[in-house]
Structure 1
C-alpha cells in the first residue's frame, strides 16, 4: 500500500530551484550576521543546485559568490581586528 504520491519528473528540478534561492538568501544575510555559518551553507547549497542542473543557475552562482564573500569579509574583519570577533551593532 502506497501512502504517498508517486514521484514526478520535475520534483528534483524544483528542489534545486529552492536550493538556488536559499543559497542566495543565506549568502545575502551572511554578509551582515553569522558569516562563518551562513557562508559555507550558501556555498554548499549553490554547488549542489548547480550540479543538479537548477533552472535558476544565475541565482545559484550569485549565492555561491555571496557565500564566498561572506567568508572573505569575515577574514578581512578578523585580520583588521587582530582576531577579535565583531558584531554588526558595534
Structure 2
C-alpha cells in the first residue's frame, strides 16, 4: 500500500484574487443599487485583497475607487433629494 502526500493548494492567492474581483463587481453594482451597503463592502474587500498581496492589484484598486465612488454618489444624491436612497 502506497501512501501519497496530500495535495497542496494555493488557496491564499486564489482567495485574494477572488476578493479583488468581488470588490470590483460589487463596487460597479453599487453605483446602480444598494450603494450604502455595497460601497463599504467593496472598500473592505479591496483593502483586504491589497493587504494580503493579490496578484490582481488593478482590480483591487478599481474596486476601492468604485466603492468610494458609491459613497460619493450616495452623498451627492442625499444632498439633492434630502433622502438616504435614490432611484433612476
Partner of 2:58 in structure 1? 58
| Runs of 4+ that moved beyond 4 A | none
Aligned-CA RMSD value = 1.4
2:31 maps to 1:18: no
Alignment TM-score, normalising by the size of structure 2: 0.87
Q: CA deviation at 1:85?
A: 2.8
Q: How does 1:18-37 map to 2 (within 5 A)?
A: 18-37=18-37
Structure 1 gap segments, 5+ residues each: none
Unpaired runs of at least 5, structure 2? 1-5
Which structure has the bigger radius of gyration?
A: 2
3-state DSSP of counterpart to 2:55: coil
In the alignment, is the contact (CA less than 8 A) between 2:30 and 2:70 conserved in 1? yes
Q: TM-score, normalised by structure 1?
A: 0.85
> How many residue pairs are counted as aligned between the two chains?
83
